[in-house]
């Protein structure tokens, strides 16, 4: 399972942030966005396991033009209070470490200022965005919390660990479904949105990728969390074990992958979705490495999901390999559109070579490589 050539070809083709049209064309730059963060996280992890400078140079080349000497980020709009903006911000810690350029340290503070002022529900959870008031989305948990936790480790003496843990606990309290053992995509505290159940405030369906974002948030935060505050670290472990056991009940027995609407495999138009399946694989492989899960029992499951994606979703055309069947986008609202119905989730375009697929493939593959290294050492 050799994928590095595929990754490097993709990085050469990927237009990244430029695909977001924002009026920064004169700089040949698009909007600071979370999708590019997926590719760059994958590149970072591949650099860390292989030492190949090409991955590091790619990250610098993508991010550096956006960061001013004062740390300000071109096309980043703080007043949107958009948690998605923080995903690419996770790379700033890495860039500061490898370049020692103070502008990256300053840009971390620029994004952290958003976190400090992010509007909250009465539960303490961050709003997903200003345009989504009093709403928690699983997506936003991944976008924000690992960034927030790493900041606490490096620069704030871990003083806000319990804030972070409380937000995860509230997600468990309000978005977890005891009947299915799955998490709903989103929660509206005041139950006012068209998509929100008028009794529970929950969106109506279980969307695979949103659950995948949450699983990745849990294992990433567990890895970052200090042993010195083990009661906090243990929360990430316990929540992950519960969540992954629920998810695995819905694995398709034949393909080993998971459906776009994970609990509705029989519904017409449902399909085996790539990015969410890869998120499950990444989280399992990482959880085994971190000993959240028993490697002897679960490692093969992560590997078989990754292998299934490689065999079933990567196809060669015109001399290049392409990754198929990633849901291009899905969300809720903000007004009357995107109502959270099954029909809605299955109506969103299905993309080829989507960065949310390829980036997570890089991340999952890097975890698989780490396991090979550990095995050789033993």
Residues of the chain under the 50 pLDDT cut: 20-28
What is the predicted pLDDT for the residue at 31?
Answer: 82
The residue extents of the domains of the chain are: 4-377
Whole-structure pTM value: 0.96
**Tell me: the pLDDT tens digits for 209-243?**
999 999 999 999 999 999 999 999 999 999 999 99
User: What whole-number distance in Å separates Cα of residue 325 and Cα of residue 159?
Assistant: 42
pLDDT at 22: 43
Which CATH code for domain 4-377? 1.50.10.10
Measured CA to CA, the distance from residue 247 to residue 281 in angstroms comes to 11
pLDDT value of position 373: 73
Output the pLDDT for position 362. Answer: 98
Question: What is the predicted pLDDT for the residue at 13?
Answer: 86
pLDDT at 337 (0 to 100): 83
pLDDT at 24: 38
């Amino acid at each position: 399972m050799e994928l590095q050539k595929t990754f490097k070809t993709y990085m050469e083709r990927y237009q990244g942030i430029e695909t977001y049209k924002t009026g920064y064309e004169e700089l040949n730059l698009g909007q600071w966005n979370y999708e590019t963060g997926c590719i760059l996280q994958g590149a970072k992890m591949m650099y860390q396991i292989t030492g190949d400078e090409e991955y590091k140079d790619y990250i610098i080349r993508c991010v550096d033009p956006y960061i001013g000497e004062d740390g300000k980020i071109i096309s980043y709009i703080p007043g949107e209070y958009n948690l998605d903006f923080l995903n690419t911000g996770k790379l700033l810690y890495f860039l500061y470490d490898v370049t020692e350029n103070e502008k990256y340290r300053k840009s971390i503070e620029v994004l952290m200022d958003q976190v400090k002022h992010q509007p909250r529900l009465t539960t303490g959870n961050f709003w997903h965005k200003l345009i989504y008031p009093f709403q928690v989305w699983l997506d936003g948990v991944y976008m924000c919390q690992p960034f927030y936790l790493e900041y606490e480790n490096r620069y704030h003496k871990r003083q806000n660990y319990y804030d972070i843990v409380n937000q995860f606990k509230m997600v468990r309290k309000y978005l977890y479904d005891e009947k299915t053992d799955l998490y709903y995509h989103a929660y509206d505290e005041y139950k006012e949105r068209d998509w929100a159940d008028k009794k529970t405030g929950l969106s109506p369906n279980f969307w695979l990728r949103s659950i995948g974002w949450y699983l990745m948030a849990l294992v990433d935060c567990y890895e970052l969390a200090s042993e010195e505050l083990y009661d906090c670290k243990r929360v990430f472990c316990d929540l992950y074990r519960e969540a992954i056991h629920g998810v695995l009940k819905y694995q398709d027995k034949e393909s080993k992958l998971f459906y776009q609407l994970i609990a509705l495999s029989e519904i017409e138009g449902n399909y085996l979705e790539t990015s969410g399946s890869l998120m499950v694989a990444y989280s399992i492989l990482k959880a085994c490495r971190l000993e959240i899960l028993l490697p002897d029992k679960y490692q093969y499951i992560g590997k078989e999901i990754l292998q299934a994606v490689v065999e079933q979703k990567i196809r060669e055309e015109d001399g290049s390999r392409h990754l198929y069947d990633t849901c291009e986008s899905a969300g809720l609202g903000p007004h009357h559109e995107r109502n959270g119905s099954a029909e809605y989730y299955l109506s969103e375009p299905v993309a080829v070579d989507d960065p949310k697929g390829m980036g997570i493939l890089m991340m999952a593959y890097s975890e698989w490589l780490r396991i090979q290294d550990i095995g050789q050492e033993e």
